[in-house]
A and B are shown apart, each in its own frame.
Chain A
Amino acid sequence: MLEIKNVRYLYPDGTRALEDISINFPREHILALLGRSGSGKTTLLKCIGRFLKVERGKILLGGRSVYDLSEIDLRRSIGIVFQDLYLFPHLRVIDNMTLAPRLVMGEDSKQAKDTAMVTLKKLGIDDIWDKYPSQISGGQAQRVAIARALVLRPKYLLLDEPTSALDVDTTDEFGRWLVRLKEETTFIIVSHDVLFCEKTATSGALIEEGRIVSRGSIDNILKKTKR
Chain B
Amino acid sequence: MKAKKVNLFFKIVLIFTGFLALWNTCLYAGKSQKLRVALTGKFPPFSFYSGKGRLIGFDVDVSKAIARKLNRDLEIVTTEWDGILAGLLAGKYDAIIGSMAKTPQREEVVNFSIPYYISGAQLFIHEDNKDEIENIDALRGKRIGVGLGETYEHYLRKNYPDIQVVTYKSTVDIFQDMLNGRIDGFVTDKLVGLYQIEKGRMPFVTAGKLLYEESIAIPVVQERPQLLKKINKALAEMKRKGELAAIYKKWFEEKGKDFETAAGIETKIIVKKLGKGFAITLLVAFSALLMGFVLAIPSAVILNNKAFFIYYPLRSFNDFIRGTPLLIQLFFVYFGAPQVGVMLTPIQAAILTLTVNSSAYMSEVIRSGLMSVDCGQILAAKALGLSRLQSFRYIIWPQAFRIALPPLMNSVVALMKDTALIAVISVGEVIREAQSIISVTYNPMKYYFIVAVMFFIFTFPLMKLAGRIEKKIKEKGFANA
Q: Which residues of A contact B (CB under 8 A)?
A: 49, 51, 71-72, 74-76, 79-80, 82, 84-90, 99-100, 103-104, 132-134, 148-149, 152
Measured in the bound complex, the distance between the Cα atoms of B480 and A90 in whole Å is 11
Measured in the bound complex, the distance between the Cα atoms of B377 and A175 in whole Å is 26
Q: Does B385 make an interface contact (CB < 8 A)?
A: yes
Measured in the bound complex, the distance between the Cα atoms of B163 and A68 in whole Å is 83
Q: Beyond A104-B385, A152-B385, is A86–B376 a contact (Cβ under 8 Å)?
A: yes
Cβ B385 vs Cβ A89 within 8 A: no
Cβ A132 vs Cβ B385 within 8 A: no
Measured in the bound complex, the distance between the Cα atoms of B390 and A166 in whole Å is 32
Of B384, B387, B390, B402, which one neighbours A90 at CB under 8 angstroms?
B402
Residues of B near A90 (CB, < 8 A) are: 398-399, 402, 478
Cβ B385 vs Cβ A71 within 8 A: yes
Measured in the bound complex, the distance between the Cα atoms of B380 and A79 in whole Å is 10
Measured in the bound complex, the distance between the Cα atoms of B394 and A204 in whole Å is 37
For the A-B complex, the count of residue pairs with Cβ-Cβ distances under 8 Å equals: 65
Cβ A75 vs Cβ B385 within 8 A: yes
| Secondary structure type dominating chain B contacts | helix
| B: number of interface residues (CB 8 Å) | 22
Cβ B387 vs Cβ A71 within 8 A: yes
Q: Does B313 make an interface contact (CB < 8 A)?
A: no
Of B379, B385, B386, B477, which one neighbours A82 at CB under 8 angstroms?
B379
Q: Does B211 make an interface contact (CB < 8 A)?
A: no
Cβ B386 vs Cβ A103 within 8 A: yes
Cβ B478 vs Cβ A49 within 8 A: no
Other contacts beyond A132-B477, A133-B481: 6, CB < 8 A: A82-B376, A90-B402, A100-B385, A103-B394, A104-B390, A149-B384
Measured in the bound complex, the distance between the Cα atoms of B387 and A152 in whole Å is 15
* Residue in B closest to A134 when the chains form the complex, CB atoms: B477
Cβ B377 vs Cβ A88 within 8 A: yes
Q: Beyond A71-B387, A133-B481, is A82–B382 a contact (Cβ under 8 Å)?
A: no
Residues of A near B379 (CB, < 8 A) are: 51, 82, 86
Question: Please, could you name 24 A-B residue pairs with CB atoms under 8 Å apart, sorted by A?
Answer: A71-B385, A71-B387, A74-B385, A75-B383, A76-B385, A82-B376, A82-B380, A85-B380, A86-B379, A86-B380, A88-B381, A88-B399, A89-B477, A89-B481, A99-B394, A100-B384, A100-B386, A104-B384, A104-B386, A132-B477, A148-B384, A149-B383, A149-B384, A152-B385
Measured in the bound complex, the distance between the Cα atoms of B399 and A6 in whole Å is 40
Q: Does B321 make an interface contact (CB < 8 A)?
A: no
* Closest beta carbon of chain B to A212's beta carbon, Å: 24
Residue of A76, A88, A134 contacting most chain B CB atoms (<10 Å): A88
Q: Beyond A84-B376, A99-B394, A134-B477, is A89–B382 a contact (Cβ under 8 Å)?
A: no
* Residues 410-453 of B contacting A (Cβ, < 8 Å): none
* Closest beta carbon of chain A to B105's beta carbon, Å: 62
* Closest beta carbon of chain B to A90's beta carbon, Å: 5
Q: Does B127 make an interface contact (CB < 8 A)?
A: no
Q: Beyond A82-B376, A86-B379, A90-B399, is A99–B478 a contact (Cβ under 8 Å)?
A: no
Measured in the bound complex, the distance between the Cα atoms of B153 and A167 in whole Å is 81
Measured in the bound complex, the distance between the Cα atoms of B374 and A71 in whole Å is 22
Q: Beyond A82-B376, A88-B377, A88-B395, is A132–B383 a contact (Cβ under 8 Å)?
A: no
* Closest beta carbon of chain B to A2's beta carbon, Å: 16
Q: Which 9 residue pairs are nearest across A and B when measured between Cβ atoms? A: A75-B385, A89-B478, A86-B380, A89-B481, A100-B384, A134-B477, A104-B385, A86-B376, A80-B383
Measured in the bound complex, the distance between the Cα atoms of B378 and A49 in whole Å is 13
Q: Beyond A89-B478, A90-B478, is A75–B402 a contact (Cβ under 8 Å)?
A: no
Measured in the bound complex, the distance between the Cα atoms of B386 and A81 in whole Å is 15
* Residue in B closest to A73 when the chains form the complex, CB atoms: B385
* Residues 351-395 of B contacting A (Cβ, < 8 Å): 374, 376-377, 379-387, 390, 394-395
Q: Does B268 make an interface contact (CB < 8 A)?
A: no
* Residues 39-65 of B contacting A (Cβ, < 8 Å): none
Q: Does B476 make an interface contact (CB < 8 A)?
A: yes
Measured in the bound complex, the distance between the Cα atoms of B477 and A49 in whole Å is 30
Residues of A near B386 (CB, < 8 A) are: 99-100, 103-104
* Closest beta carbon of chain B to A190's beta carbon, Å: 14
Measured in the bound complex, the distance between the Cα atoms of B381 and A71 in whole Å is 12
Of B381, B390, B399, which one neighbours A89 at CB under 8 angstroms?
B399
* Closest beta carbon of chain B to A116's beta carbon, Å: 13
Of A71, A79, A100, A132, which one neighbours B476 at CB under 8 angstroms?
A132
Measured in the bound complex, the distance between the Cα atoms of B374 and A87 in whole Å is 11
Cβ B478 vs Cβ A82 within 8 A: no
Cβ A134 vs Cβ B383 within 8 A: no
Measured in the bound complex, the distance between the Cα atoms of B386 and A74 in whole Å is 12
* Closest beta carbon of chain A to B434's beta carbon, Å: 44
Cβ A88 vs Cβ B476 within 8 A: no
Measured in the bound complex, the distance between the Cα atoms of B380 and A80 in whole Å is 8
Cβ B390 vs Cβ A134 within 8 A: no
Residues of B near A152 (CB, < 8 A) are: 384-385
Of A72, A79, A89, which one neighbours B383 at CB under 8 angstroms?
A79
Q: Beyond A86-B374, A86-B377, A86-B379, is A134–B385 a contact (Cβ under 8 Å)?
A: no
* Residue in A closest to B374 when the chains form the complex, CB atoms: A86
Residues of B near A149 (CB, < 8 A) are: 383-384
Measured in the bound complex, the distance between the Cα atoms of B377 and A49 in whole Å is 15
